[in-house]
Amino acid sequence: MKYVRSSSKKYLPSKEAKRISLAPEDIYKKAEKSKIKFWANLAREGISWIKPFTKDYEQTSEKFSWFKDGKLNLCYNALDRNLDTPKNPAIIFIPENVKEKKQTLSYLQLYESVNEAAFLLRKKGIKKGDVVSIYMPPMIEALIFMLACARIGAIHSVVFSAFSAEALRTRIKDGKAKILISCNYYFRKGEKIFLTKKIKKACRKIKIKKIIIDRKKTGKIFVKKNTPIIPPEPMNAEDTAFILYTSGTTGKPKGVMHAIGGYAVQAYWSGKYIFNLKRNETMWCTADIGWITGHTYACYAPLLNKATTVLFEGMPTHPTPDRFLKIIKENKINVFYTAPTALRMFAMQDNFTSKYALKSLKILGTVGEPIDKETWNWLFKKIGKGRCPIIDTYWQTETGSAVIDALPGHGPFIPSYAGKPFPGIDYSIINKKGKKAKSKEEGLLVQIPPFSPSLIRGVWNNPQRYKKYFIKGKYDSGDNAFYDNEGNFRILGRSDDIIKVAGHRMSTAEIEDAITSLPEVIEAAIVGKSDKIKGMIVAAFVKTKKPITEKKIIERVIKKIGPLSKPSEIYFVKDLPKTRSGKIMRRILKGLLEGEEIKNLSTLLNPESVEKIKVLIKKELPKKK
Ligand code: WTA
């Protein structure tokens, strides 16, 4: 199947691609007629309901619901209904160590394992509506417990396994989790990474039950015993499926809440239409299970679609840079979904792609950060061999599923553009004057009601914060973007104080809080600095009252948040540029780091600070390289 390049640097699907597309040709038109009816039809067709819904969409100011009076169970939809072909593989788990064998779990085995885990959770007193913290890398038991929670109506809150003990503790406490599920260790870059100490520290003086899985026994823990069948709990469509903490503009992470009905519907259909995912096909989403991408495209979407999901434990370049290609080849992966940072890393070391034919691949997807043209072209030619469309998917923890992207049979695929809003979803761009932007005019990306089924329903313990997502009846994404005159969106990056480092979402405020917790520090400002591989790196400007080493600052960030957030560059400054109302001008600091000329300093309280920092950067930068 060839993808043809049109004259304007666009790729268009071939006839064959159109023919095999699961999304019908007239899908956009159909959705446009009535978005609500469109989703209601998809909900009936794609998801099995215990009690069918009669209400589709309702909204009063920022509160909205989908399929409100319907009842369903997410685990039933992902497992039980797929048992007509019980032997089909559901999960392929690939340990990092090449000497350790991969494990394949069939739908029946996964169903039985989830039942065992659900039984165990019940035995531990976990009930419908309780929060269950899962602090695990991508391993079989992480999925088993997520699904077991869904089965009994408990709410999982997965915490990324590289977060620090303190970060885990904050999330356990905010969620008021009843139980923590984790493992003793896992492998990454050939090393054993232990979680045991972190777990102990995180749970100090908190009343919480624990289940700690032994990594050595992974895949063999929940084998069928004579436990009674735990029936899937009938849940209301608007009950919470899970919470997932993500970085916001304040120092405190937000527990983003998703509703069962809307999430199930959109996870299912986005998997089918965006990745053209068919039953029995194999999808490898390389995102960690601790992020939303892992939740939706390494767990729920493939299982809801009766496909096979691949879980890889470690680093996809270990022990050799072509490890990820070996995995694609050996497991006949059809859909490969990853982050541009990973691709840039692969491309940098590439002397191996020509040795792999990669015939099984049919769709390539990217997520988490903008993809540059060079990486796009490398992916298209060297991995996809010109056969596979590249689907650049834009979305957020808050949207639950991918929301802006070209569909494989529709296109167009334009390097660095995400594409059009998914059928039935409406996005727009608001310019500085608060008006709808013209084509190519940059502005704030907003979602227009009716809001998409899997959009955020609340912030755990913080209803006020939830309200802040909405401005004048629209959902504010916090991203800047523009569209071309055919309505294809290009995402430019955040409009707020969130930065993306290697596709991971971080809050500048959270890192600043960690640094200012050091007694030697008066103030700190964090900005993202462009980086060829990671998209961005963390740069810190620190004002101290007493001398302090860079090492101590880095250690503090690792302790409070985790290694991902540690600053790559630290500048000790005498003063930080501020507005007259005392707000630190991070934008200016960023400009200085990028070597831009800073104009118009008249609104600053201390314009002289800018020149001093400029000189400092010039002096320090060569040492940091
Ligand atoms: C960014 C990840 C450009 C964006 C699914 C968004 C992207 C944030 C893209 C959400 C993309 C995600 N192109 N930028 N294709 N996808 N982003 O919550 O800034 O970890 O707001 O969800 O990632 O990150 P999150």
Decide if 390 contacts 381 (C-beta within 8 A). Answer: no
Tell which one of 295, 390, 392, 395 to mutate to probe ligand 1, the residue whose CB is within 8 A of the most ligand atoms: 395
Q: pLDDT for 495-516, tens place per residue?
A: 888 999 999 999 999 999 999 9
Residue 214 tokens read as: 């032994």
In the chain, ranges of CATH 3.40.50.12780 domains: 4-425+436-490
HEC per residue, 574-624: CCCCEECCCCECHHHHHHHHCCCCCCCCCCECCCHHHHHHHHHHHHHHHHH
Residue 166 tokens read as: 């303190």
Element (H, E) at 443: strand 443-448
Question: How many other β-carbons are positioned within 10 Å of the β-carbon of residue 10?
Answer: 18
Ligand 1 atom 12 nearest Cα: 368
pLDDT at 251: 80
Q: Is the dihedral of CA 236, 241, 247, 251 positive or negative?
A: positive
Residue 372 tokens read as: 């540059």
Atom from ligand 1 closest to the CA of residue 393:
15
Q: pLDDT for 527-580, tens place per residue?
A: 999 999 999 999 999 999 999 999 999 999 999 999 999 999 999 999 999 998
Question: Measured between alpha carbons, how far is 256 from 310 in angstroms, rounded to an integer?
Answer: 25
CATH class of 4-425+436-490: alpha beta
Question: How many other β-carbons are positioned within 10 Å of the β-carbon of residue 582?
Answer: 7
pLDDT at 233: 98
pLDDT at 249: 79
Strand partners, 351: none
Decide if 215 contacts 186 (C-beta within 8 A). Answer: yes
C-alpha 504 – ligand 1 centre gap (Å)? 9
C-alpha 414 – ligand 1 centre gap (Å)? 18
Question: Measured between alpha carbons, how far is 266 from 315 in angstroms, rounded to an integer?
Answer: 29
Q: pLDDT for 186-241, tens place per residue?
A: 999 999 999 999 999 999 999 999 999 999 999 999 988 889 999 999 999 999 99
- pLDDT, averaged per 10 consecutive residues of the chain (625 residues), comes to 68 92 97 98 98 98 97 98 97 97 98 97 98 98 98 98 96 97 97 97 97 97 90 98 91 94 98 97 98 98 98 96 97 98 94 96 96 95 96 98 98 96 98 94 97 98 96 96 96 91 93 96 95 95 96 97 96 94 91 90 90 93 78
Residue 574 tokens read as: 């005498």
DSSP per-residue codes, 106-158:
EHHHHHHHHHHHHHHHHHTT--TT-EEEEE--S-HHHHHHHHHHHHHT-EEEE
pTM summary value: 0.96
Question: Measured between alpha carbons, how far is 419 from 390 in angstroms, rounded to an integer?
Answer: 11
pLDDT at 622: 83
Cα 450 → chain centroid: 23
Residue 323 tokens read as: 């490890």
Question: Measured between alpha carbons, how far is 196 from 49 in angstroms, rounded to an integer?
Answer: 40
Atom from ligand 1 closest to the CA of residue 398:
18
Question: Measured between alpha carbons, how far is 571 from 357 in angstroms, rounded to an integer?
Answer: 47
> Interior CA angle at 270 toward 11 and 534, to 5°?
65
Tell me which architecture the domain covering 502-624 has in CATH: 2-Layer Sandwich (3.30)
In the chain, ranges of CATH 3.30.300.30 domains: 502-624
What residues are in contact with ligand 1 under a 6 Å CB criterion? 246, 291-293, 367-370, 392-397, 418, 477-479, 491, 494, 500, 505
Residue 99 tokens read as: 């000497």
Residue 495 tokens read as: 């409009």
Q: Which residues of 169-186 are buried (b: 16+ CB within 10 A; e: fewer)?
A: bbbbebbebbbbbbbeeb
Q: For helices 586-593 and 608-624, what crossing angle results, to 10°?
A: 40
pLDDT at 144: 98
Residue 208 tokens read as: 């919480």
Residue 221 DSSP class: S
Q: How many Cα atoms are found within 13 Å in the side-chain-facing hemisphere of 12?
A: 6
Question: Measured between alpha carbons, how far is 597 from 594 in angstroms, rounded to an integer?
Answer: 9
Decide if 497 contacts 508 (C-beta within 8 A). Answer: yes
Distances (CA, A) of 429 to 434, 489, 569: 9, 9, 34
C-alpha 173 – ligand 1 centre gap (Å)? 27
DSSP per-residue codes, 382-398:
IISTTTS-EEEEB--TT
Tell which one of 258, 479, 494, 504 to mutate to probe ligand 1, the residue whose CB is within 8 A of the most ligand atoms: 479
C-alpha 284 – ligand 1 centre gap (Å)? 19
Element (H, E) at 40: helix 35-46
Tell which one of 491, 504, 564 to mutate to probe ligand 1, the residue whose CB is within 8 A of the most ligand atoms: 491
The one-letter code for the residue type at 206 is I
